[in-house]
Amino acid sequence: MSPVLPADAGYFFGRSVVELAERLRDGSLTSVELTQAALDSIERLNPTLNAFVQVDAPVALAQARKADELLSQGQDLGPLHGIPVAVKDNIDTLDYVSTYGSAHFEGFRPRRDAVCVQRLREAGAVIVGKTLTHEFAYGPTGDRSLQGAARNPWAPECITGGSSAGSAAAVASGMVPLALGTDTGGSIRIPAALCGVVGFKPSYAAVPLEGVFPLSSSLDHAGPIANSVEDARLLFEVLSGKACAATASDPRAVRVGWIRSGSFGPVDVAVDQQVYQAAKQVFGDTLQEVTELAAMAAGMKETLLILQRAEAYDVHAERMQEAPQLFDQEVRERLELSQEVRGWQYIRAQRAQQQYQAQMARLFEDYDLLVSPSVPIIAPPVNARETPVGEQLIDVRAAVLSYTSPWNLTGLPAISLPAGQVRGLPVGLQVIAAAGEDERLLQWLTHHTPT
């Protein structure tokens, strides 16, 4: 397959929501025109990329006409008013089927919107469709779903990463300027990194999860995928219901820690070098090597695995008993392993999670930000489950999760920024802040990274 990008990209490829909003208000664009541009881009590109699993043009255009009508009457609902947005298929939407990527819910229509979708509507955004999720969001590759595999716009034979697979592909290819994703072990940041866009996992509980199909209650997050930090910030403000107040410039130099290469597992040398150079461009000589995390990595991984397995099985126990054949085989096998977690293991993992959160709070007394590669490899082929790193073959799923999942366990805000390419495929720079520092992180990066 030939790459969609950059030559054949959709209308919104690299476009700023801020600029689109300005044009909506000066009358040089309408929401109907923007929505039609999204629908045209989807019609052209989605047969290759499989990013969207459901689009309803009449529903989307009706929302756009309402947005235009309100603006013409002087009712401006904010920066996302009239802007097309895509929603991941594990998030409930009243006017679109929500399958959660599974045959268990084929054709299912929720009775109400998720709270985050309701907030999008209240902000005047136009929801153009639902994007592919790895089945029940239980997988980091994005190639196990009722609707098949999402495909990377830079190389359609390769994965997008998951589980917010379609959302990242939709933004990266220019089908929409913004998309909503969820993240339990890296599911926003992994596909954002592998597709070359911005993906932000907020602090735990910063965005309400009512109406988001659960995977793991102590690890689940929802957040934005966008073309820029500024656009991600605008969407996060809507999702969280909290405006990011402008912060005065801090005269103190930002203290930034580069997580020592290999701390969380093997890293492709070329990826490591590319991301480090990108970090140097953003943070300059403030980078200091952080060595403490390597000793914590194995314990953090084991703790997260126990929590996720126990909580995921709690969600799916009845389905596993009554209709296991409806699961994708790989997802079913993960749930069969999940059944083996003992109660005492889960209780200990909850205690360990609190201990790791306390350790990270102490580490952030010495640093303002931590940085690393978002994903230690480039996107492997669809359905590949091993990939070479140096002279060894490593497990794809473990690799792509290795640098993102610690921040789900500890609930810290973490963002993946585009950091160039390696062998023609995008790589990401991950920036992590202390708990609750979402606003400061987004404001600082808005002013210190290119749009």
User: What would the two tokens of residue 27 be?
Assistant: 């009358």
User: What would the two tokens of residue 117 be?
Assistant: 């979708």
CB burial of 150-162 (b: ≥16 within 10 Å; e: otherwise) equals bbbbbbbebbbbb
Backbone angles phi, psi at 270, to 5 degrees: -65, -40
> DSSP E strands: which ranges in 191-276?
198-201, 221-226, 256-259
CB 357 within 8 A of CB 410: yes
What sign has the CA pseudo-torsion 135, 139, 143, 144? negative
* Rounded Cα–Cα distance for residues 211 and 200 (Å): 20
Query: What 3-state DSSP class applies to 218?
Result: coil
The CA-atom distances, in angstroms, between 320 and each of 64, 80, 304, 327, 337 are: 41, 40, 22, 8, 12
The CA-atom distances, in angstroms, between 240 and each of 46, 93, 101, 324, 325 are: 30, 18, 25, 36, 38
* Rounded Cα–Cα distance for residues 440 and 147 (Å): 38
Pairing of strands 221-226, 178-183: antiparallel
- Residue 163 falls in the annotated catalytic set: yes
CB 161 within 8 A of CB 194: yes
Closest CA to 278 of 137, 86, 429: 429
Closest CA to 444 of 362, 369, 375: 369
* Rounded Cα–Cα distance for residues 189 and 198 (Å): 8
* Region for residue 420 given its phi and psi (left: phi exceeds 0; alpha: psi -120 to 50; beta: otherwise): left
Active-site annotation holder among 187, 240, 263, 405: 187
* Rounded Cα–Cα distance for residues 229 and 218 (Å): 26
Q: Is the previous residue joined to 163 through a cis bond, with omega within 30 degrees of 0?
A: yes
SS3 content of the chain, % helix, strand, coil (to 5): 40, 15, 40
Active-site annotation holder among 163, 167, 338, 372: 163
Active-site annotation holder among 31, 41, 88, 201: 88
H or E, element range at 159: none
Which residues are known catalytic residues? 88, 163, 187
